[in-house]
Structure 1
Amino acid sequence: MKRELGIARCGLACCLCSENISCKGCDSGECPDKEWCENRKCSISKKIEHCYECNEKCRKGLLSKIKPYAFTEFVRRYGEDCLLDCLERNENRGIVYHREGINGDYDDFDDVETLIEYIRTGCR
């Protein structure tokens, strides 16, 4: 885990992303998706660094997907450091962020609360 890469504006875990060799994060100026990323544009226009800092609980852009939405909700409740701690602990226990392509163990959920509990406990 590259903890220093932290969490993306939308809630995705840059710190665990298999793309972090070529991507240096939302604010690096090198993000290949910076021109179209709705969450990046919106948070910049609101002068905030992350969607979890916003008072709206929207589902636009990548927040329409369960993983970034659940990660964002997790940070709202418990804080970014807690999310990073849980992700690191889970990784050490064998939970995989990306297995093939962009799917991993956090992608097998259809309920936000169940995924938040999985992040928190590392147990299904």
Structure 2
Amino acid sequence: MKRELGIARCGLACCLCSENEKCTGCNTSECPDKAWCQNRKCSIEKGIDGCYSCEKECHKGLLNKVKPYGFNLFIKRYGINEFLDCLERNEKEGIIYHREGIIGDYDDFDNVEELIAFIKTGIKQI
């Protein structure tokens, strides 16, 4: 885990991303998605670190998907350090962020509360 990369503005885990080894994160001018990313644009306009810092209930951009939406809710409830701690623990226990392409164990959920419980415990509820 590259903890120093932290969390993207949309809530995705840059710290675990294997999509681009040279990625410096969405907070840099080098972000390859900066032209189209609604979450990056909106959070910059609001002057906040990311969607997880916003008070609004929103499903804009990537937040219309369970994983980024659930990650944001987790951070809002428990804080970014707890989120990073859980991701790091889960990775050490074999939970994979990107298994094939950009799909991994955190993508196996249709229910946001089940995803949040999985992040917290590392155990899939049956």
CA distance in 2, matches of 1:100, 1:30: 25
CA distance in 2, matches of 1:23, 1:67: 20
How much has 1:25 moved relative to structure 2?
Answer: 0.4
CA distance in 2, matches of 1:57, 1:68: 13
Normalized against structure 1, the TM-score is what? 0.98
Q: Deviations over 1:36-93 (max 9, x none)?
A: 1000000011111110111101001011111010000000000000000000000000
Q: Which runs of 5+ in 1 are unaligned?
A: none
Residue number in structure 2 paired with 1:104:
104
Secondary structure in 2 matching 1:89: helix
Residue number in structure 1 paired with 2:34:
34
How much has 1:27 moved relative to structure 2?
Answer: 0.9
How much has 1:19 moved relative to structure 2?
Answer: 2.3
How much has 1:22 moved relative to structure 2?
Answer: 2.6
Residue number in structure 2 paired with 1:8:
8
Aligned residues: 124
Q: Is the 8 A contact 1:14 1:20 kept in 2?
A: no
Normalized against structure 2, the TM-score is what? 0.96
RMSD: 0.7
Structural mapping, 1:1-124, within 5 Å: 1-124=1-124
AA in 2 matched with 1:23: C
Q: Is the 8 A contact 2:19 2:101 kept in 1?
A: no
Q: Which runs of 5+ in 2 are unaligned?
A: none
AA in 1 matched with 2:5: L
The list of structure 1 runs, each at least 4 consecutive aligned residues, that deviate by more than 3 angstroms after superposition, is none
